[in-house]
Structure 1
Amino acid sequence: MDMIRVEPRCRVLIDNDWAGDPDGLVALAHHAMSPSNTIVGVTSSLTNPMFGPPAGMAQKGANLAGELLRVLKSPEPAVAHPGSDSPFTGQPRDTPAARAIAATAAAGGVLPLVLVCAGPLTNVADALLLDPAVASSLTLAWVGGAAANGEEYNYFTDPAAADFVLGNQELSVWQFPAETYRQVVAPVAELDHAFRNSGAAGAWLWELFNSLDVPDFVKFGPLWCLGDSAPLVVTGLDDATSTFTETRNHPSRRTYTSVDTRLIMADFLAKLRLQQ
């Protein structure tokens, strides 16, 4: 039986450091399984040096994202585009990722375009330098930064890129800061059970989570943060049960202060089971 019909509400261009924390790939799978959004592009960014030497990591991440989409039998996109392995320089860089973002923004479409970035903003900054018109063609949903001035991974992996992107006055930004995205957690036991019992996609994710190469100081606990899934409330789902503050309407500047974790996780786990 087919899933109950859901109409698409937006196009999504998804950028992440796919070779870093695996919660990004969970979020990619969730988007790919969501009929209410259409993936029109995937780009891969640099990783923090804590995950090892940066050289080649953007391409490694692109390979992982592409492999997952193939396992999910997602019709589009065919490939993920890598960005630079080095932080934003302030000088134009014609990377495959920057070109893909600029081309997708320029192509237009009936549905609104949301650029979901749940990693450093390097590729977004490069795309804005390559084609400033990108800013008025999409809304950026960014998982990063912190409402309080504390250390946050996605911001501090490339602070120059974040400052450049967030300083663009033509760009609509919906931000999910650390205080918000860290609310999206799941018990490891629930994830383990779901992955083991959800077909090829679940098996792929289970293997990924069980073969992570992480620094010695990283110790796993009974909960896993799936913060990169927070933007699903504005793409594949709805933010009716989430809260945000808004400082501007045109272009929109929102900071999400809460997201409905139960909604996100229940939807993801149900869609994963439906993949069997």
Structure 2
Amino acid sequence: MDMIRVEPKCRVIIDNDWAGDPDGLVGLAHHALSAANRIVAVTASLTNPMFGPPEGRAVAGADLAAELLRVLKLTAPSTVHAGPDAPFTGQPRESAAARAIIAAAAAPAGAGLPLILVCAGPLTNVADALLLEPAIASAFTLAWVGGAEVNGDEYNYFTDPAAAEFVLGNQDLAVWQFPAETYRRIVAPVAELDQLFRTAGPAGTWLWELFHGLDVPDFVKFGPLWCLGDSAPLVVTGLDDVTSTFTEAGTHPVRRTYTAVDTRLIMADFAAKLRLQG
């Protein structure tokens, strides 16, 4: 039987450093399985040098994201566009990722659906796109997983601080921010994730093998909980923020900071969708 019908409520561009922490790919799978959003572009950004030499990592991340979409048998969009492997320079710079963002922002709003650019990594590709075509700033809302009360301590910010300052300094851009104080509380027990991946069909198996095959620096030690912070924006795309809390500043455009999101809602929805798809 078909699932109860869910109407789409937004179009989504998804940008992340897919070759970094694997929680980004969990977020991608969740977005891809969510009927409430329509993915119009997927782009891949650089990774921090802590994961090894950055050369080729954006393309490697694009390949991972594309492979996951194939495993999910969801081939639209069929191409994941890679950005550069170097941080934002402040000078106009062409990349497939920047051009994909620009094209999606310039496309007509299908069925009147608003456009949300979900970035759960460094803001490099977003900065490059805004520098090339400043007019697109009013065409989408940025949902960014990143930043903190002390920005220097937060991964997505310190991977490319120049990009973050440039993007967040754009006065024409609406931003919904999920800072570290919020996204780091989206956690799941490792045992629960392991059981889910083992029992959720081909996509679950793919994610299980990814998590078990991680090549991480020696200083990274795993505990009993896994942070799935990159899934935070699901409350404004594939789900609803009715159980979230946030503060707002400004009116045109609005700057919103999420102070709490519903971890149980996100995890239960992801587990159900992954099992149904499997």
Tell me, which stretches of 5 or more residues in structure 2 are unaligned? none
Return the TM-score normalized by structure 2: 0.98
Q: Give per-residue Cα distances to partners, 1:56-102, cap 9 Å, x unaligned.
A: 00000000000000100114100100000000000011100000000
* Superposition map of 1:145-156 within 5 A: 145-149=147-151, 151-156=153-158
Kindly indicate whether residue 63 of structure 2 is the aligned counterpart of residue 79 of structure 1: no
* 2:45 counterpart of 1:41: no
Query: Structure 1, residues 135-186: CA drift from partner, whole Å, max 9, x if none?
Result: 0000000000003455000000000000000000000000000000011100
Shift of 1:108: 2.5
**1:103-118 alignment runs, 5 A limit:** 103-109=103-109, 110-118=112-120
- Report the equivalent of 1:264: 266
**Could you tell me how far 1:250 is from its partner in structure 2?**
1.6
TM superposition shift of 1:3: 1.2
How many Å apart are 1:134 and its aligned residue? 1.4
Distance 2:151 2:50 in 1: 21
Q: How far apart are residue 133 of structure 1 and its match?
A: 1.2
Partners of 2:46 and 2:86 within 8 A in 1: yes
Secondary structure of residue in 2 paired with 1:212: coil
2:9 pairs with 1:9:
yes
Are the aligned partners of 2:152 and 2:158 in contact in 1 as well (CA < 8 Å)? no
Q: 1:236 maps to which residue?
A: 238
Matched, 1:18 2:18: yes
One-letter identity of the residue aligned with 1:10: C
Aligned equivalent of 1:162: 164
Q: Where in structure 2 are the equivalents of 1:1-276 lying within 5 Å?
A: 1-109=1-109, 110-149=112-151, 151-276=153-278
TM-score by length of 1: 0.99
> How large is the RMSD of aligned CA atoms in angstroms?
0.7
Letter in 2 for 1:66: A
Give the aligned residue type for 1:77.
Answer: P
**In structure 2, what is the Cα distance between the partners aligned to 1:57 and 1:203?**
23
Structure 2: which amino acid aligns with 1:96? Answer: A
Q: Number of residue pairs matched?
A: 276
How far apart, in 2, do the equivalents of 1:257 and 1:10 lie?
A: 22
Aligned-pair CA distance for 1:214: 0.1
Structure 1: which 4+ aligned runs deviate by more than 6 Å?
A: none
Give the SS at the match of 2:142.
Answer: strand
State the alpha-carbon separation in 1 of the partners of residues 211 and 269 from structure 2. 20
2:37–2:237 contact (8 Å) kept in structure 1? yes
Q: Is the 8 Å Cα contact of residues 123 and 164 (structure 2) preserved in structure 1?
A: yes
Distance in 2, matches of 1:266 and 1:143, equals 20
Letter in 2 for 1:228: D
- Measured after TM superposition, the shift of residue 248 of structure 1 is 1.5
2: CA distance, partners of 1:75 / 1:120: 25
